[in-house]
Chains A and B, each alone.
Chain A
Amino acid sequence: MKLLSTNGHLGFAPLRPDSFHRGLAELPDVIAADSGSSDVGASPLALDYSTSPLAWQRSDLEQMLLAARQLGVPMIIGSAGDSGANSRVDLYVKLIKEIAEEHQLPEFTVGYFYSEVPQELLAARLRDGTVMPGLDGRAPLSVEDLDVTDRVVAVAGVHPFIELLDMGADVIIGGRCSDSAIFAAPAIRAGFEEASSYHLGKLLECASFCAEPYGGKESVLGTITNEDIKVKAMHPDQMCTVASVSSHAMYERSNPYYENVLGGQLDMSNCLYEQFDERTTRVTGAVFTPTDPLMVKLEGAGRVGARYIGFAGIRDPYTIEHIDAVIAWSRAEVVKAFGEAGYSLKFHRYGIDGVMGPWEPHPVPGHEVGLVVEAVAPTDDAAEAICMTATRQLFYARLPAVKGTAGSVAFLFDEVLRAKPACSWTLNHLMPVEDPLELFPIHTTHAGVSPRGLEGSR
């Protein structure tokens, strides 16, 4: 079975047509892509939007749909629209229908599933005494965590994809799911063993990030047999090498050997990577261990407050030397006007430790320093007032021996800018479930033109 991975994060940047068309020439049995990411921060999930232009999402979906319908193979998308929230699934299903109608594609079946978890359900489970362990050092889920959460998605495994394929879906739009499940599902359904199916999914989910030289958004072809899995770069200048494929096993994950999905754990610690041909690497040796009880990962996000941003630059070496006093002056003025609590105010000191904060081992200023003032407060008006006070008061900071007495900082502009609200990841937890489908309601619908040609998409 051959699976074509077209884009490591559909919608974040457009796929590259050349390697995509070379991939299609290999006659894949499945065309698939992951569209999700938690890297873009908590805002898309908390505020329910996508981070990239609709046109980019539509363009990738259009190219994949036309190719999949022409080849007559399934098209599978997971974690629709960054967050995998219900509105993103609905958006992608709508786009599929629009594209099908526009191109007058013969009627086909669209399957989709949702991943949002109602907070009432989580609250009820807490009341029942269910323990939902925290991941990555977090405490178990509490009512307080839910109080600061606006939206929760559960991370699906292969199960809703397999169910929808069994129901005859030609196109699947998935809510939030494990990246590897998007590719593992059709392989497992076709009878290949779970271990190699999940491992192939893991290698394909970021498309050309498993190839070298570095170049994103190029298609990659995965092949699974009963003996092995192979990944092949589709861009003529890229290769899947032992080095690039094995190092991809580390990418974005804390541990390179283990991957947890709903239903089990993939163990890659005894894998053998071999160069199969110039552009293809062959991998064997993954092991999959089912887990009991089933644990599903929950991701939750909440709006923290309105956010405004101010900018100031400093060039006077004396002022730079006394940067702490300048910031202390500004903060004290804000405290005088707004009190000490109920808001957050951060001075990012670019040129000192703006990028790394407390992790910076070399917090030594250069000849100029840039300050970004970030204020978060419950209301827009409060955030703007706090940000404006903090930014403006940098200008009036009082330093005893300063030569320049007409302003302590340079303003890029004399205003503060409204940003999107600040949000935070509030849930990163596990929830026990009886049935791997119980949090993921599945649906089918139709798109394209019916055989009689009289109806459009429904």
Chain B
Amino acid sequence: MMQLRNVAKTIRSKNAGVDLVTFDIIFPDLDTYKMVCESMALTPEAVARLYNVDESQIVEFVNFDPAHAIKFTLRRAFPSGSAGDPDIFGSQQYAPLLEVEIPDSTNHHGDKPRN
């Protein structure tokens, strides 16, 4: 078992307009990207569970091949910068993704020995 932070190049979150926060998980190469996609460790269901939100709050979930990236977008409870909003840029909401466990069963792309 390894964690997302060991295989992703970039894991970030940021406002996408005033009502949404978008999350980008970018992988260093096609093989790693495909391995994580196929592992099903990151799916709308998994994200909803991790962030304790209803799946209907996930407004986009995209596997973005050109950038070897998985991207999803959550609807905020209230607009960014409203009284009570603790993260007006949405820039620290990615942290729970770092420790998402990636099952190691799918090593059939095979060129990267695990450590």
Is the CB–CB distance between A254 and B15 below 8 Å?
no
B24 to chain A: closest residue by CB: A250
Given the known interface contacts A252-B15, A423-B81, A425-B81, the answer about A41 and B88 at a Cβ–Cβ threshold of 8 Å is: yes
Chain B residues near A344 (CB, 8 Å)? 83-84
Is the CB–CB distance between B88 and A40 below 8 Å?
yes
Given the known interface contacts A39-B89, A256-B67, A423-B81, the answer about A359 and B18 at a Cβ–Cβ threshold of 8 Å is: no
A355 to chain B: closest residue by CB: B92
In the complex, chain A residues 354-368 whose Cβ is within 8 Å of any chain B Cβ: 354-362
Taken together as a complex, chains A and B put the C-alpha atoms of A353 and B89 apart, in Å, by 17
Number of interface residues of B (CB under 8 A): 44
Chain B residues near A361 (CB, 8 Å)? 50-52, 96
Taken together as a complex, chains A and B put the C-alpha atoms of A138 and B80 apart, in Å, by 14
Given the known interface contacts A39-B80, A428-B19, the answer about A256 and B62 at a Cβ–Cβ threshold of 8 Å is: yes
Q: 1/0 contact trace for A234-264 toward B, CB 8 Å?
A: 0000000011001101111111110000000
Is the CB–CB distance between A356 and B79 below 8 Å?
no
Chain B residues near A249 (CB, 8 Å)? 64, 66-67
Q: Report which of B20, B80, B86 forms a contact with A41, defined as CB distance below 8 A.
A: B80
Is the CB–CB distance between B88 and A374 below 8 Å?
no
A273 to chain B: closest residue by CB: B66
B53 to chain A: closest residue by CB: A359
Q: Report which of A357, A358, A428 forms a contact with B79, defined as CB distance below 8 A.
A: A428
Chain A residues near B24 (CB, 8 Å)? 247, 250-251
In the complex, chain A residues 271-297 whose Cβ is within 8 Å of any chain B Cβ: 271, 273
Q: How far is the CB of B42 from chain A (nearest CB, A)?
A: 14
In the complex, chain B residues 41-58 whose Cβ is within 8 Å of any chain A Cβ: 50-53
Chain A residues near B1 (CB, 8 Å)? none
Taken together as a complex, chains A and B put the C-alpha atoms of A374 and B85 apart, in Å, by 10
Q: How far is the CB of A35 from chain B (nearest CB, A)?
A: 17
Q: How far is the CB of A207 from chain B (nearest CB, A)?
A: 16
Taken together as a complex, chains A and B put the C-alpha atoms of A304 and B78 apart, in Å, by 13
Is the CB–CB distance between B67 and A138 below 8 Å?
no
Q: Is B69 an interface residue (CB 8 A)?
A: yes
Q: 1/0 contact trace for B73-107 toward A, CB 8 Å?
A: 11101111111101111001101100000000000
Q: Report which of B17, B69, B95 forms a contact with A254, defined as CB distance below 8 A.
A: B17
Q: How far is the CB of A180 from chain B (nearest CB, A)?
A: 15
Q: How far is the CB of B6 from chain A (nearest CB, A)?
A: 18
Q: Is B34 an interface residue (CB 8 A)?
A: no
Given the known interface contacts A42-B82, A255-B60, A358-B77, the answer about A250 and B52 at a Cβ–Cβ threshold of 8 Å is: no
A–B pairs, 13, beta carbons within 8 Å: A38-B18, A39-B15, A39-B88, A42-B82, A136-B17, A136-B19, A246-B64, A252-B15, A254-B16, A273-B66, A299-B18, A344-B83, A359-B52
Residues of A within 8 A of B (CB): 38-43, 135-138, 242-243, 246-247, 249-257, 271, 273, 299, 304-305, 307, 344, 346, 348, 354-362, 374, 376, 422-425, 428
Extra contacts, 15 of them, besides A246-B67, A273-B66, A362-B96 (Cβ < 8 A), are A38-B17, A138-B19, A247-B67, A252-B15, A252-B22, A253-B16, A254-B16, A254-B59, A256-B62, A304-B82, A346-B84, A354-B86, A359-B51, A361-B96, A425-B81
Report, nearest first, the 4 A-B pairs whose CB atoms are least far apart: A41-B81, A425-B79, A136-B19, A254-B73
